[in-house]
Structure 1
Amino acid sequence: MILAAGRGERMRPLTDTMPKPLQLVKGKTLIERHVEALARAGVEHIVINLSWLGHLIEKALGDGSRFQVTIDYSVEESALGTLGGIVNALPLLQEEQFLVLSADIFTDFDFQPLLNRSLENQDVAHLVLIEKSPFEGDFSLHLDRVQEPNQTAYTYGNMGLYQRQALTAFPSGQVLDLGQYLRQAVARQQVSGQLFTGLWSNIGTINELTRINQLMSR
């Protein structure tokens, strides 16, 4: 699943007429790059949630056939937040575990090994964490267990595997926060993780979009 329903407030005025997932990096949209990367990793079915200017995303990607995947859309009248968007899309997500990533990141992460993982025991998620980030660290990592942050804290890279059954307890159609869900699951020791040290950026501002375009043009 690709999360693509956000308003992109910090990138206005660019996002007033074009949603953040359709912003260009070296001539190609962020979300198109994700769809291509998932297709290379063997993904055949992708669900994308939509809200702000979502019709433009659907028009750009269509049914996914040109990427050799099937794309279904989960439309939200108003954005339901990160967790709310996932829960609302559960009827389209039939696998017991599935990958979720945000449309507004830029990365060279290889999704195939992650997709080949199986969540262990009572784990409800497996997170990809990053260390090079201007943001305050979310979690710590000991071996492959995600823990509450200590002196060495990493940022959630907005990529992870999620267990479907654990999400069915939440009401559909409500605004829900993924961060709160993950913090509670970490406190219960139900989250594994891995550290990624490759190329990663959260395209949350016009300055960051400009920086990544300059980096990719070198």
Structure 2
Amino acid sequence: MKAMIFSAGKGERMRPLTLTTPKPLLVAGGKPLIVWHLERLAAAGFSEVVINTSWLGDQFAPALGDGDRWGMQLHFISEGAVPLETGGGILNALPLLGDAPFLVVNGDVWTDVDFSALPQQPQGDAHLVLVDNPVQHPRGDFILRGDGTVSDAGDAPRLTYAGIGVYRPSILDGWREVIGATEGASANPPRFGLAPLMRHAMAHGRVTGQYHAGRWTDVGTPERLAALDAALA
């Protein structure tokens, strides 16, 4: 299974740090955030990783090389000056990801998730990792049912999507109808988020998930980056 690390965002909440450094290359515990992912992916047996880039994208290849130091191959795919968002980013990367299920990881989270413990063949279109709701996101995102399916409907307590999931390319089937007529969807290449497609698949019972009780941090602000850096020291 191949993996993709989302790395194209502008990191506006992390400014001024991201004025000169893309967020996945910011350092915590002596390593760039994205290097923590690459090390864990390599340990889990992944040999090919796609990294989408946009904001300050020319910094990634010099910083990471070709992946040889981790025993893997890195593929950098530029989205141009304007990021394609999560759904558009995956669509743009599909020629590199191929037809099999693939792992997606947000480049701006830190976690001790064991990537080898995720299913290589999800039952439906996606399998998500969910975590306890952080202070900055108390409501959470989705409901993890007792049968392992994930839902966006109902009043049950919600968990937070960890920015980690295994997806089939079929998650993008009919994306234009799901997204609707938006400015981004009509762009070339198209720009659109993954969340509407996830919710559409959930409504049809095609998303499963698992709860991660270990460590996870959404490194969304300079303060949270500093706290993570101190915790990893």
TM-score (structure 2 length as normaliser): 0.88
**Alignment pair present for 1:151 and 2:117:** no
> Quick check: 3-12 or 144-153, which moved more?
144-153
> Quick check: 189-198 or 128-137, which moved more?
128-137
Within 5 Å, give how 1:1-218 maps onto structure 2: 1-77=4-80, 78-114=82-118, 116-120=119-123, 123-134=124-135, 135=137, 136-143=139-146, 144-148=148-152, 150-167=155-172, 169-170=174-175, 173-217=189-233
Q: Which amino acid aligns with 2:56?
A: L
> In 1, Cα distance between the equivalents of 2:193 and 2:166?
16
Q: What count of residue pairs does the alignment treat as equivalent?
A: 214
> In 2, Cα distance between the equivalents of 1:16 and 1:168?
36
> Quick check: 105-114 or 143-152, which moved more?
143-152
**Pairwise CA RMSD of aligned residues?**
1.4
Shift of 1:167: 2.1
Shift of 1:194: 0.4
Q: Which amino acid aligns with 1:159?
A: I
> In 2, Cα distance between the equivalents of 1:168 and 1:70?
28
TM-score (structure 1 length as normaliser): 0.94
> In 2, Cα distance between the equivalents of 1:94 and 1:100?
13
Shift of 1:170: 4.2
In the other structure, the counterpart of 2:181 is: none
State whether residues 130 and 195 of structure 1, in contact with CA within 8 Å, keep that contact through their aligned partners in structure 2. Answer: yes
> In 2, Cα distance between the equivalents of 1:59 and 1:82?
24
Shift of 1:95: 4.1
Deviations 1:23-69 (A, max 9, x none): 11111000011011100000010001000011111211111111100
Change (3 A) 1:69 1:95: farther
> In 2, Cα distance between the equivalents of 1:192 and 1:165?
14
Change (3 A) 1:142 1:170: closer
Q: Which amino acid aligns with 1:37?
A: R
> Quick check: 17-26 or 208-217, which moved more?
208-217
Q: Which amino acid aligns with 1:214?
A: A
> Quick check: 182-191 or 5-14, which moved more?
182-191
1:158 partner SS: strand
Percent same amino acid among aligned pairs? 41
State whether residues 126 and 171 of structure 2, in contact with CA within 8 Å, keep that contact through their aligned partners in structure 1. Answer: no
Could you tell me which runs of 5 or more consecutive residues in structure 2 were left unpaired when the two chains were aligned. Answer: 177-187
State whether residues 141 and 159 of structure 2, in contact with CA within 8 Å, keep that contact through their aligned partners in structure 1. Answer: yes
1:38 partner SS: helix
Q: Which amino acid aligns with 1:184?
A: H
1:176 partner SS: coil
